[in-house]
């Protein structure tokens, strides 16, 4: 069921730039949120597993535009970015931390339908708040032709890579059911990149991330996100299966880490203003690797408080990297191309996240027990962090003379 949602979400991300160009960002966001709210209710009312999977698939498809368009709203202009970028870091990273907590409580007390019903009032409140999007997304639309060939390459390629990554930990990376779709999907994605570089109006303008800052920043954020979100998958397993905590306690253990990541993003912008992007990103990634190595010392008797402290320190390091780097990526392109950049960035994170988490899952499952698996993951995550730090050396120094990070000008095309 989760696989169907993620696959549909990937396909929806492919269509987001064209949709926003054709219908306007504000309208696409509002419709996407409304449909997400309705499909959430449909999931809650599903009377069978097949209906639930179908509703969940549709939910992923219609939800896809929300994240890239929200990123455009938060990072789209210099005025808006100065006002909300730091606060956005808190919201973007703290909010997901409440998911395991709220989800665990709701699931234990009210059952699985309630995990979908809870989206309905949130969606209604979001639709009411959409009235304010006009001031940050504009009202103009710039249509462009639909890239049929691009969709024929990107969508199947993305689905094949995501599906094979999902199946790999159980079936094995060398199995035909994994290696064939993975190879075919990778080839299709590569062909799309070549097609997008030559096409005037491709489905997603991935070439906008082809600058040194854009490419290095995307790779750094992708690697950092794999290391960061690994804890969401594996720490609950450790806390529940090894230390026998409840799902609610495991969720509560992750909560401070999410909040600290948001606060770290605020601290990261302040640090970049003083020392520049490159040294802050490198230092944050090296710190992430060093703190990740502390998982080697975890055992069945490790105090929960120490676990929370280590998770919080990791999250602080992630916050120092992600929001400042994302801001610079956003600043490197014209304002009218924001939806393309944010969609391409999210697609890169989806692919790297799927392959990365699947690879870490294989490492975890290969260990004789969950504690040994966590120890092995600790070393792998440290290596990934060091590699990301090396790539971060390619980022621009970007030590602004003004009080804010450099941002792209507000002039240019804007999309409703």
Number of Cβ within 10 Å of residue 336's Cβ equals 18
Q: What are the pLDDT digits (tens) for 199-222?
A: 888 888 888 787 888 888 889 989
Residue 159 contacts residue 7 (beta carbons within 8 Å)? yes
Q: What are the pLDDT digits (tens) for 219-250?
A: 998 999 899 888 888 888 899 999 998 877 88
- Reading the block at residue 255, the tokens are 């909560």
CA angle 103/343/39 to nearest 5° reads 40
CATH of 74-111+206-392, one of 3.40.50.150, 3.40.250.10, 3.40.50.300, 1.20.1250.20: 1.20.1250.20
CA count, 13 A, side-chain hemisphere, 283: 11
- Reading the block at residue 369, the tokens are 């027990």
Residue 138, pLDDT above cutoff 60? no
pLDDT value of residue 412: 42
Task: Report helix, strand or coil for 233.
Answer: helix
pLDDT value of residue 71: 76
Whole-number percent of the chain with pLDDT over 90:
34
Q: What are the pLDDT digits (tens) for 84-122?
A: 555 555 555 556 556 666 676 777 778 888 889 989 998
Task: Report helix, strand or coil for 411.
Answer: coil
Task: Name every residue whose Cβ is closer than 8 Å to that of residue 162 and which is 6 or more positions away in sequence.
Answer: 3, 6, 7, 10, 185, 350, 351, 354
- Average pLDDT (34-40) is 94
Rounded-to-integer distance, Cα 353 and Cα 317, Å: 19
Residue 157, pLDDT above cutoff 80? yes
What pTM was estimated for this model as a whole?
0.82
pLDDT value of residue 334: 67
Residue 21 contacts residue 144 (beta carbons within 8 Å)? yes
Residue 200 DSSP one-character state: S
Q: What is the pLDDT of the chain when averaged over all its residues? A: 82
pLDDT band at 414 (very low <50, low <70, confident <90, very high): very low
pLDDT value of residue 280: 92
């Amino acid at each position: 069921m989760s696989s169907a949602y993620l696959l549909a979400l990937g396909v929806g991300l492919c269509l987001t730039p064209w949709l926003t160009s054709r219908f306007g960002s504000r309208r696409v966001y509002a419709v996407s949120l409304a449909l997400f709210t309705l499909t959430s209710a449909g999931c809650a009312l599903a009377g069978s597993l097949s209906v639930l999977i179908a509703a969940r698939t549709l939910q992923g498809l219609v939800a896809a535009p929300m994240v890239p368009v929200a990123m455009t709203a938060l990072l789209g202009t210099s005025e808006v970015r100065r006002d909300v970028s730091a606060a956005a870091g808190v919201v973007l990273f703290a909010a997901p931390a409440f998911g395991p907590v709220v989800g665990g409580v709701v699931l234990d007390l009210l059952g699985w339908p309630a995990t979908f019903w809870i989206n309905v009032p949130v969606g209604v409140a979001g639709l009411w708040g959409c009235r304010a999007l006009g001031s940050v997304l504009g009202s103009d639309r710039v249509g462009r032709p639909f890239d049929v060939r691009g969709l024929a390459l990107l969508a199947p390629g993305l689905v094949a890579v995501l599906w094979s990554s999902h199946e790999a930990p159980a079936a094995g990376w060398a199995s035909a059911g994994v290696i064939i779709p993975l190879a075919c999907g990778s080839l299709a994605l590569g062909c799309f990149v070549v097609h997008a570089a030559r096409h005037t109006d491709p489905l997603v303008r991935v070439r906008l991330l082809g600058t040194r800052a854009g490419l290095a920043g995307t790779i750094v954020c992708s690697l950092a996100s794999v290391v960061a979100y690994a804890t969401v998958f594996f720490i609950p397993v450790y806390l529940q299966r090894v230390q026998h905590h409840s799902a609610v306690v495991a969720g509560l253990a992750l909560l401070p880490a999410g909040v600290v990541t948001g606060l770290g993003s605020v601290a990261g912008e302040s640090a970049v203003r003083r020392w520049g992007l490159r040294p802050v990103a490198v230092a944050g990634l090296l710190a992430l690797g060093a703190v990740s190595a502390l998982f080697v010392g975890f055992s069945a008797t490790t105090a929960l408080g120490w676990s929370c402290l280590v998770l919080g320190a990791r999250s602080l390091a992630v916050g120092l990297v992600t929001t400042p780097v994302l801001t610079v990526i956003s600043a490197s392109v014209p304002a009218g191309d924001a939806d393309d950049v944010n969609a391409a960035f999210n697609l890169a994170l989806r692919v790297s996240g799927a392959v990365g988490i699947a690879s870490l899952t294989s490492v975890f499952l290969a260990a004789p027990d969950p504690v040994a698996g966590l120890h092995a993951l600790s070393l792998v995550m440290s290596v990934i962090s060091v590699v990301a730090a090396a790539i971060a050396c390619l980022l621009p120094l970007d030590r602004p003379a003004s009080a804010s990070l450099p941002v792209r000008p507000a002039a240019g095309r804007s999309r409703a």
